[in-house]
A and B are shown apart, each in its own frame.
Chain A
Amino acid sequence: MEEYIVNILKGSVLTMEVALGSLAVAVVLGLLGATAKLAQSKPLNWLAGIYSTVIRGIPDLVLMLLIFYGGQILLNKGLELVGYEEYIEINPFLAGVLTIGFIYGAYMTETFRGAIMAIPKGQMEAGYAFGMSKSRVFFHITVPQMIRLALPSFTNNWLVLIKATALVSILGLPDMTMLAKQAASAARDVTPLAPMLFFLFTGAIYLAITTVSLIVLKQLDKRYSMGVRRGEF
């Protein structure tokens, strides 16, 4: 009994790794997507528009299966073309992180776009007037203000992302959900309540993760809105 519980707890480390890894990918893609959507170039606008619309219109699970199984074939076909004969198996951890990151990058695109648009234009213009370069204005003027405006929707995306990591169990990654499912069927002889117990335990860990996230992000929100006066009523 204890071994299963310890196992699931170990699996929660993998869940966190997948979640944080994909969050990093999603933030980078989101920033790229948001800048592309707001850029002065029509093709870039289109590309980012298609990315954020199509990805958000398809279930995560279908996209994961497509990228995981399809990517496998695509990679090997591509390697064959350049003359590499051996079959390469994609690391499921990497595939999971990249896929979830790719999906939530689309949600982050919308989050960051909204936040950037909410910053008064004069801020950026003032930066340019001081002779700052484009990237300098972006990282020193836009991003610090964007964080505050993006935080509420970022919090939402993060909470949905953590829960989406449960799907990597379907790709065969031994995260909490998969270990719980295995334990549920393996421990039936030990206790008749086993099937329920392990899922309840796993659910409780997810709940703990989301609760801690909420508390931390609330503190961050306080920190970043220090100089802002909210409408008081």
Chain B
Amino acid sequence: MQFEVIFEPATLKLFGQGILVSLKLLFISVTIGAVLSIPMAIMRVSRNKWLSTPVWLYTYVMRGTPMLIQVYLIYYGVAQLEFVQSNWDTVPLLMPFKDALFCCVLAFTLNTCAYTTEMLAGAIRDTNHGEIEAARAMGMSRRQLMWRIVLPSALRRTLPAYSNEVIMMLHGTSLASTVPALMDITGAARSVYSDFYLPFEAFITAGAIYLVLTFTLVWGFKLAERRWLAYLQPRKA
């Protein structure tokens, strides 16, 4: 084992930048995905078929195909199309496809949004019927009922499942290394491997970084659950 190589300034810098890229990818896609999932979850539980079916189809397709295919579809598919490449300097809508980071973020966001939507929709469906009845008895409109009663509690109850999703997405960002020009943690490890031919050192370092990040997320979500889900905690004897 030659872990000295890992602790050389150049390699450390590579991994440091990799961590920043991974966290950036994670933060942007998870945030946008979560925000979009709220209206989508409301549509998903709607009794109106025209609202719920498209969302169902979207989540079904996204959850039934590998994220690698989704990344390839956007990066090697859409962004490599002849007419996209010849027009992306003039059409503002196509411009972002020039950027590898955007392609990855788009794929990751669409993916995490689908999973989050299903989780949140499940939590909304599981809302205690008594709470809804009480809100109706108070004379709340449908909108008030959603914003004041259902969503605050459904968002909290999604938290444990959502923490798993965020961790899965952290691991999912490693797929960014399959796109050239993007150096996330895994990308840094792959470049160290190919430069020095040291697979153990390179990938164990990357694995250790991911483990630390995973445990940090687990710990953070535990704190969040203690803050927002305290009322569901089992009572201590």
List residues of chain A with CB under 8 Å of any chain B CB.
54, 57-63, 65-66, 69-70, 72-73, 159, 163-167, 169-170, 177, 180-181, 184-185, 188, 192-193, 195-196, 199-200, 202-203, 206-207, 210-211
Contact = CB atoms under 8 A, between A and B. Distances in A.
A171 to B, nearest CB: 12
Given A61-B186, A166-B66, 12 more contacts: A57-B215, A60-B171, A170-B178, A181-B76, A185-B76, A188-B80, A196-B81, A199-B73, A199-B77, A202-B69, A203-B65, A210-B65
B5 to A, nearest CB: 15
Contacts of A72: 199
Interchain residue pairs A-B with the least CB separation, the first 9: A66-B203, A69-B199, A59-B171, A166-B66, A163-B66, A59-B174, A199-B73, A196-B77, A57-B214
User: How many B residues are at the interface, by size bracket?
Assistant: 35 or more
Contact of A57 (B76, B206, B211): B211
B83 interface: yes
B139 to A, nearest CB: 28
Contact of A70 (B78, B80, B199): B199
Contact of B193 (A57, A69, A169): A69
B189 interface: yes
Given A65-B190, A65-B203, A58 B211 contact: yes
Contacts of A210: 64-65
A200 B73 contact: yes
B76 A62 contact: no
Contacts of A159: 64
A166 B203 contact: no
